[in-house]
Amino acid sequence: MPIIVDVDVELAKHKISVGDFARAIGLTPANVAVLKNGRAKAIRFSTLDAICRVLECQPGDILRWVSEEH
């Protein structure tokens, strides 16, 4: 999929564990893993809002598009 989710990068920058992050945004650690591993097919705006609030970032800091040609 050409949309890359860089949640793990932001978690490392903020030194937040997956468990703490999951609790803060209201997801299970398993669902955070789905996001981190690029297996998510969609994301709710409310979840994106919570992620950006907790990580104090913009959506573009965690979502990026790459061409499938690469």
Question: 65, exposed or middle or buried, with CB in 10 Å at 0-12, 13-18, 19+?
Answer: exposed
pTM as predicted: 0.88
Report if residue 27 sits inside a domain: yes
Report if residue 7 sits inside a domain: yes
Give the whole-angstrom CA distance, residue 61 versus residue 58: 5
Print pLDDT tens along the chain (70 aa): 689 999 999 999 999 999 999 999 999 999 999 999 989 999 999 999 999 999 999 999 999 999 987 5
Residues contacting 51, CB < 8 A, separation 6+? 7, 25, 57, 62
37: CATH: 1.10.260.40
Tokens of 60: 């573009």
- Number of separate domains in the chain: 1
Report if residue 67 sits inside a domain: no
Report if residue 17 sits inside a domain: yes
**Residue numbers of the domain that contains 11:** 3-62
Report if residue 42 sits inside a domain: yes
